[in-house]
Structure 1
Amino acid sequence: MPGVGVGFGITVLFLLFALLAPLVLYALVRAEGSEREEMDRETAERVARRDTGERRGRS
């Protein structure tokens, strides 16, 4: 039965993808986290206010 080999191969490829995809996503998220800029609380609050400062006082 030649169809059995093809089905088995597709199953193996699917299982490999199912196991490797989360690991690749994890590695990408870890790499992204190391690029972020760390700052103290006062600086972070100032930056956050600067992002929303244009809308202050308007409804």
Structure 2
Amino acid sequence: MHNWLRIAVLAALIVIAFVILVVFLSIALRIAFVLALLAIAYYFYHRALQARRDRRNWR
């Protein structure tokens, strides 16, 4: 009986740790995805501004 209890507690701990890991990974992936989108958007915006500035200077 005591062995059963220990196995059950161990299984519960493993499941809880796995759930926490999955939640943490999903949140981290979402944050990384948003940051990557922001970086790409900022890069293109900066390039567009630079191109406009260069065009204005060329005239």
Show the 5 A alignment for 1:1-59: 1=8, 2-36=10-44, 37-38=47-48, 39=51
- TM-score with structure 1 setting the length: 0.57
TM-score (norm 2): 0.57
RMSD (Å), alpha carbons: 1.8
Q: Any stretches of 5+ residues in structure 1 without a counterpart?
A: 44-59
Q: Aligned residues, how many? A: 41
Higher helix share: 2
Identity of aligned residues (%): 5
The structure with the larger Rg is 2
**Runs of 4 or more off by more than 6 Å in structure 1?**
none
Residue segments in structure 2 that go unaligned for 5+ positions in a row: 1-7
Tell me the secondary structure at the aligned position of residue 43 of structure 2.
coil
